[in-house]
Amino acid sequence: MGRRLIILLVVVVVVFLMGILVTRRRPPQPIPVPTPSSTPTTALLPMSVVSIFPKEGTVELGDTVNAVAIVFDQPIDSATAVVAVTPFTQVTAVVRADNKQRLIILPKDPWKSNTTYTMRVAAGLTSLSGQYALPQDVVITYQTVPPPAPVYPSDEAGF
């Protein structure tokens, strides 16, 4: 058994020494330096607002779930839309298939009457092409009032 142990130790030492000799003969490998991309990085072009409906100011949105629409000069990627409303109101921002330039903002619950709301669409909203982006926040302020009560025809008119 002692003889086998000696042979095993000799084999381990020989393999160890060969490993050292092999690694010493290898020239040092240069550290790879990253090279600049051949594709230049370009800044996104600015996207702008074409129209907002309803216009800022006093609006008859109170006690309704009517939408606010913002039309941009490019078809937009709704996945990049970040909309915040104060006072806090949960909203959904969608783009319909029939008009990809219009961002529709829908409240989860009715807008409260006689309340000042500020909506903010965050800069960074991008176009579907990925070539345009909203360069700064779009901020809209509304003072809500209830819509007028409907006027029904009188019974005398035959209705």
Q: Give the type of residue at 127.
A: S
Average pLDDT for 60-89: 95
3 state SS of 36: coil
- pLDDT (0 to 100) of residue 150: 84
Q: How confident is the model at residue 3 (pLDDT cuts 50, 70, 90)?
A: confident
Please answer whether residues 94 and 104 qualify as being in contact, where contact means their C-beta atoms are separated by less than 8 angstroms.
yes
- Ordered DSSP codes for 85-141: EETT--EEEEEETTEEEEEEEEESSPPPTT-EEEEEEPTT-BBTTSSEE--S-EEEE
Give the model confidence (pLDDT) of 5-22 as tens digits.
788 777 777 777 676 666
- Which position has the token pair 């176009």? 127
Please answer whether residues 143 and 134 qualify as being in contact, where contact means their C-beta atoms are separated by less than 8 angstroms.
no
What is the fold of 45-144? Immunoglobulin-like (2.60.40)
pTM: 0.69
Instruction: Give the percent of the chain with pLDDT over 70.
Output: 81
Average pLDDT for 49-77: 96
- pLDDT (0 to 100) of residue 149: 85
For the chain, domain boundaries = 45-144
Average pLDDT for 94-100: 94
Residue 128 pLDDT greater than 90, yes or no: yes
Residue 158 pLDDT greater than 80, yes or no: no
